[in-house]
Chains A and B, each alone.
Chain A
Amino acid sequence: MEAINKFNGVVCPLNRANIDTDQIIPKQFLKRIERQGFGQYVFHHWRFDDEGNKREDFIMNQTQYENAEILVAGENFGCGSSREHAPWALLDYGFRVVIAPSFADIFYNNCVKNGILAIRLTEEEVEELMKKAEEPGYRLFVNLKDQDVFDRKGFVAEFDIDPYWKEMLLNGWDEIAVTLNLEDNIKKYEEKIAAGK
């Protein structure tokens, strides 16, 4: 996983609540056995019509958001299926940061494991960002170490993150390697359980 600390990018506002992972990556694209290459399918049925033509009215298809790297969405983002293909698709498409008032639990974990920074802001802050992001080229700056986001015009918002996940994202750790360092503890636990039987 790639480490992340300071990041800035154009913001795309996707003003819908309860966006489920079936929308982020529809099931017909889950059959690949690789982690890469899912970006082309992100929000497929919202971006393209049945004939495969771009839907011009969908926000991500508008020229000003073509190179967006920060996605702002409504509450309970990423609900539904546990498919990690959803964060893989967002990342592969170019979104490194997702901001919402709340995230579904499994989706949030899946983001952390892939170096996507999922930021919870208040509903009011998210609403304000959605409005600001209507301005072409609107860019947001993220600083994970300081746990804040800001723009050039004085908008600042702080966010909470579990200290452990923060360390992990800042360092781009391989979590399995971290856990395997605790091999002795795992072994002891297994011995204790076996003895109890």
Chain B
Amino acid sequence: MAPKTIIEKIWEQHIVHQEEGKPDLLYIDLHLVHEVTSPQAFEGLRMNNRRVRRPDLTYATMDHNVPTVNRNVINDPISKTQMSTLEQNCKEFGIELADINHPDQGIVHVIGPELGLTQPGKTIVCGDSHTSTHGAFGALAFGIGTSEVEHVLATQTLWQTKPKTLQVKVTGELGFGVTAKDLILAVIAKYGVNAGTGHIIEYTGEAIQNLSMEERMTVCNMSIEAGARAGLISPDEKTVEYLRGRRYAPQGEEFDKAAAYWLSLATDEGAEYDRTLEIKGEEIEPQVTWGTNPSMGSGISASVPTPSQFEREADRESVARALEYMGLEAGTKLEDIAVDYVFIGSCTNSRLSDLRAAAQVAKGRKVQEGVTAIVVPGSQTVKKAAEEEGLDKVFTEAGFEWRESGCSMCLAMNDDIVPSGKRCASTSNRNFEGRQGNGSKTHLVSPQMAAAAAVTGKFTDVRKLAEVHQ
């Protein structure tokens, strides 16, 4: 048999119906649901008298709107309605829900893996573009719109045109102080926000294999920022060990059987991709974005670029517009840009290892006066584990606020908003205009770089902060 990529293997195994001239009808193994993109889908089911076909393959939580200061104070009545609507819908259609006070509550892309719902070889969808996160486990995971949410609820399938395959190969090793976040930001800066459009990415290469599962989630999370439908990594022993003993993972003998199957999904030697992009691990520095899309960024040692540096007219216009919005002068050193806010959290960087890394930088230092810094764990489980290690104390002693779990300031749908004109160093995934609040200015960075910005009041190359040296 011809060698295959993991993408082809998973795709072929999930075809329910195939017909010339039509997309394939794919079976969906796991459907994750949250409060923002689901109400209209449930309403559609009700209007057409349809049921949820497989509540047992569906799991819901609340994350986008939830307050992170006091769980019981939801100031916005419309947010409250959206949450209570999800509660009613889950009750009516028999779906398991981790609601706002549930010990498993958290960002949907953090809790899926935590609970062991996310497994290699599964097709996973959610009405959220960062569903690609689950690809870290060798699952085919992608974001869908609300009409597709309704379609999956009703049929447990989706019509999908098979995307092309794109290999993103990261060779060599990442340098000291360079993280998974820097890796993916560097890929996007090098190849652009639509490098992956129409494709599913498989990340390969030594630098990828060396990443922990949590780091792999950070990389796959931002596949959508490169335009890709999904991004995944072939499962290996790390994948298997992460899942061992998780609540919804197979147990006992079943686990060993599953593990053997998972490992068999890895891309075969000699399999071909439609396209391949490469980057050397050694060439990646800690990254900071300076513009209004995730490709507008560079290594911390660089300066804000001049629009005329760009070849295409469309790029020159976009860059000029971005610099105007960001209030930045071309030629300013990135290390000279002062910040007002620091946000450590989001489905990209809110897991225990992210918080540990940030705490290591924050330990024994103080958040600069005038800087508001918040740490928002990705889930209640992460929060509890961090508190057991005393990370909350490290952060609060340094002057960070320690919050409840949720999406929070990544998209500012709750009360965690960056005020207009203020500049934020953020570990989230999007620096779009107004993303963190109308008029807010977002710079994407790693947790270490965010903590360094908090304690120095400006972007600082984390490698220069001596104490992080082991």
With a CB–CB cut-off of 8 A, which chain A residues contact B142?
A: 106
- How far is B424's CA from A52's CA once the two chains are assembled, in angstroms? 25
- How far is B317's CA from A80's CA once the two chains are assembled, in angstroms? 20
- The reply on A33 being an interface residue by CB < 8 A is yes
- In the complex, the chain B residue whose C-beta lies closest to that of A81 is B129
- How far is B159's CA from A79's CA once the two chains are assembled, in angstroms? 21
Pair B16/A75 contact, Cβ less than 8 Å: no
With a CB–CB cut-off of 8 A, which chain A residues contact B85?
A: 33
Binds B, one of A53-61, A141-149, A181-189: A181-189
- How far is B127's CA from A180's CA once the two chains are assembled, in angstroms? 21
Pair B82/A31 contact, Cβ less than 8 Å: yes
- The reply on A63 being an interface residue by CB < 8 A is no
With a CB–CB cut-off of 8 A, which chain A residues contact B314?
A: 17, 74-75
Asked, given contacts A102-B194, A102-B197, A186-B155, whether A113 binds B148 with beta carbons under 8 Å apart, the answer is yes
Pair B76/A164 contact, Cβ less than 8 Å: no
CB contacts between A and B, total, < 8 Å: 167
The 5 sampled A-B contact pairs (Cβ below 8 Å) are A31-B36, A33-B82, A33-B85, A105-B198, A163-B22
* A107-130 near B? 1/0 per residue, CB < 8 Å: 001100110000000000000000
- The reply on A175 being an interface residue by CB < 8 A is yes
- The reply on A135 being an interface residue by CB < 8 A is no
With a CB–CB cut-off of 8 A, which chain B residues contact A75?
A: 194, 314
Q: Besides A31-B76, A189-B16, 5 other CB < 8 A contacts?
A: A27-B412, A79-B227, A106-B229, A163-B21, A186-B155
- The reply on A170 being an interface residue by CB < 8 A is no
- The reply on A45 being an interface residue by CB < 8 A is yes
Give the residues from 241 to 257 in chain B that come closer than 8 angstroms, CB to CB, to chain A: none
Complex partner residue of A30 from B36, B155, B157, B163, CB under 8 angstroms: B36
Complex partner residue of A31 from B79, B145, B154, B434, CB under 8 angstroms: B79
Pair B78/A32 contact, Cβ less than 8 Å: yes
- How far is B146's CA from A76's CA once the two chains are assembled, in angstroms? 21
- How far is B40's CA from A76's CA once the two chains are assembled, in angstroms? 26
- How far is B435's CA from A81's CA once the two chains are assembled, in angstroms? 11
- In the complex, the chain A residue whose C-beta lies closest to that of B126 is A82
* A60-102 near B? 1/0 per residue, CB < 8 Å: 0000000000000011100111111001000000000000001
* A150-173 near B? 1/0 per residue, CB < 8 Å: 000000000000111000000000
Asked, given contacts A17-B314, A32-B78, whether A76 binds B194 with beta carbons under 8 Å apart, the answer is yes
Asked, given contacts A22-B432, A34-B40, whether A109 binds B145 with beta carbons under 8 Å apart, the answer is yes
User: Taking beta carbons and an 8 Å cutoff, which residues of A are in contact with B?
Assistant: 16-18, 20, 22-23, 26-28, 30-35, 45, 50, 74-76, 79-84, 87, 102, 104-106, 109-110, 113-114, 162-164, 174-176, 179-180, 182, 185-186, 189-190, 193
With a CB–CB cut-off of 8 A, which chain A residues contact B36?
A: 30-31, 83
Asked, given contacts A17-B318, A33-B81, whether A82 binds B40 with beta carbons under 8 Å apart, the answer is no
- How far is B17's CA from A164's CA once the two chains are assembled, in angstroms? 14
- The reply on B439 being an interface residue by CB < 8 A is yes
With a CB–CB cut-off of 8 A, which chain A residues contact B411?
A: 22, 27, 81
Pair B21/A20 contact, Cβ less than 8 Å: no
Complex partner residue of A84 from B65, B81, B146, B432, CB under 8 angstroms: B146
Asked, given contacts A84-B37, A102-B194, whether A45 binds B155 with beta carbons under 8 Å apart, the answer is no
Shortest beta-carbon contacts, A-B, top 9: A113-B147, A33-B39, A84-B145, A110-B145, A82-B143, A31-B78, A84-B146, A82-B129, A76-B194
Pair B161/A162 contact, Cβ less than 8 Å: yes
Pair A83/B37 contact, Cβ less than 8 Å: yes
- How far is B318's CA from A28's CA once the two chains are assembled, in angstroms? 25
Pair A30/B413 contact, Cβ less than 8 Å: yes
- How far is B404's CA from A35's CA once the two chains are assembled, in angstroms? 30
Pair B17/A185 contact, Cβ less than 8 Å: yes
With a CB–CB cut-off of 8 A, which chain A residues contact B350?
A: none
Pair B433/A22 contact, Cβ less than 8 Å: yes
Pair A104/B27 contact, Cβ less than 8 Å: no
Pair A189/B197 contact, Cβ less than 8 Å: no
- How far is B78's CA from A170's CA once the two chains are assembled, in angstroms? 36
With a CB–CB cut-off of 8 A, which chain B residues contact A186?
A: 16, 27, 53, 155-157
- The reply on B293 being an interface residue by CB < 8 A is yes
With a CB–CB cut-off of 8 A, which chain B residues contact A190?
A: 27, 156
